[in-house]
Chain A
Amino acid sequence: MISNTGFWAFLRRDLLLINRRRGEVASPLIFFIMAATFVPLATTPDAELLKDIAPGIIWVMALLATLLSAESLFASDYQDGSLEQLLISPQLIVMPVLGKVTAHWLTTGLPLTLVSPLLGLLLSLPTDGYLPMMAGLAVGTGCLSLLAALGAALTVSLPKGGLLLTLIVMPLYMPVIIFGSATAQYSIQGLAWTGPLAILGAMLALAIALCPLAISSVLRLTTIN
């Protein structure tokens, strides 16, 4: 029995574990920056053209970067037996799961949000777009992390589950990416951008409430082998 079963305990431990292998955290972030850099190289450096597609590109890259890091969410816990210990702990595992996902968001979604102005600069995003884009990313990457964790839980017992995870999670990402890029798009077009942001917020609230429950049940199912 592991007696540390709360939200904070898992958040702290996962952050400590991630801190010990910082390179893994840096990879999705570097991917995010590099992949977005290719767009002006491959298409056109014309600021007028780029500004229309900038929010969309940043969002697609954020999505891919989140997926890249998702596989490791439960993988090491599964391999070393920590997950088994967690599953036979007397408490419900919803809060530990939420703690782990929060640690994942703090080390992927949050850094992505923080470096996104740099990408905005590379893709000549208009000045009005920065704040809405960052607000949208901060909220939206929360949804992305929670959904990615669901995919990670479903594929945890598979040896090469990464691609399958991507295929499972991608369709669930559609509403997030629609309203996420709309947040920045609206502000560039001079429309009120708080509407799509509010919908993103609602999606995050729903995901926080439901995803940990789904993830816990899925973990119980997938670890039976």
Chain B
Amino acid sequence: MVVGPSLLSVKDLCFERDDTQIIDSVCLDLSDGEILQIEGPNGSGKTTLLRLLTSALTPTRGNIYYRGKALSECRFEYLSDLLFLGHQSAVKVTLSAEENLSWMTGRSTVCEELLSALDSVQLTGYSDVPCYRLSAGQQRRVALARLLISDAKLWILDEPFAALDSQGVALVEDCMQKHLDGGGSVVLSTHQPVAMKAVRRYSLMDQAIQGAV
């Protein structure tokens, strides 16, 4: 098997804010079909690290490489391949689930794929209800329905299980598994143990990768 440059590689990444070192020399490697869980207690910089990976923040030192190329050289390519789901799920509360999903994915509201994605996240019957009438978990599901439609290669998910019930968690895990099987990759942060066997874990406290390879 030919070993090409890995999908995402992070070298000596540092981030400082107001003279406080938030991220200190993080080194990571992620190949196609791999899933990496970022671990650490509250305030250890999980979200900051993920936001650095999405290029929303610029690192004070260090580099991120996408398929062997520095991010500054392939920004368009990288961002086109990226799906980021943050703490705030970008769901517009005045729009319906259908309209939100259509906006996020660029598909039309009558698109079959879109409706079936909403069915899969158990929002059947809620698709034309304004999102402010939905519960926090249901709003989260609207955002997660993006995962079912997305053709992005790399998913960066910040606390994807927040506000979800156990059924919702299973749904997201299932979704990630399909994505991995299709050659995609996932970076996620969560406090919950992820019930997937191939998960590698990166701990921001001891700065080491553990788990299956």
Contact = CB atoms under 8 A, between A and B. Distances in A.
Interface in A1-36: 1-4, 13, 16-17, 20-21
A88 B105 CA distance: 14
A168 to B, nearest CB: 23
Contacts of B99: 16
A223 B89 CA distance: 16
Contacts of A17: 92, 94-95
B130 A20 contact: yes
A16 B95 contact: yes
A84 B94 contact: no
A139 to B, nearest CB: 31
A80 B92 contact: yes
A84 B103 contact: no
B195 to A, nearest CB: 27
B56 interface: yes
B106 A2 contact: yes
Interface residues of A, number: 23
Contacts of A20: 94-95, 130
B20 interface: no
Nearest to A92: B76
A85 interface: yes
Interface stretch (B77-85, B181-189, B200-208): B77-85
B88 interface: yes
B56 A80 contact: no
Interface string B86-101: 1111111111000100
Q: Is the interface of B mostly helix, strand, loop or mixed?
A: loop
A88 B54 contact: yes
Contacts of A81: 86-90
For chain B, the bracket of interface size reads: 20 to 34
B95 A1 contact: no
B169 interface: no
A3 B149 CA distance: 12
Contacts of B94: 17, 20-21
Nearest to B89: A81
A149 to B, nearest CB: 19
Given A20-B130, A90-B75, A84 B106 contact: no
A33 B79 CA distance: 47
A202 B86 CA distance: 41
Interface in A97-132: none
Given A1-B79, A4-B106, A85 B84 contact: yes
B90 A90 contact: no
A2 B91 CA distance: 12
B152 interface: yes
Contact of B56 (A2, A4, A88): A88
B89 A80 contact: yes
A189 B83 CA distance: 60
A201 to B, nearest CB: 34
Contacts of A79: 88
B182 to A, nearest CB: 17
Nearest to B83: A1
Contact of B106 (A3, A82, A90): A3
A37 interface: no
B213 to A, nearest CB: 29
Contact of A90 (B76, B87, B92): B76
B82 A1 contact: yes
A17 B95 CA distance: 7
14 contacts: A1-B79, A1-B83, A4-B103, A17-B95, A20-B94, A80-B92, A81-B86, A81-B89, A87-B56, A88-B55, A88-B82, A89-B79, A90-B77, A224-B57
Interface of B: 17, 54-58, 75-80, 82-84, 86-95, 99, 103-106, 130, 150, 152
Interface of A: 1-4, 13, 16-17, 20-21, 76, 79-82, 84-85, 87-90, 223-225
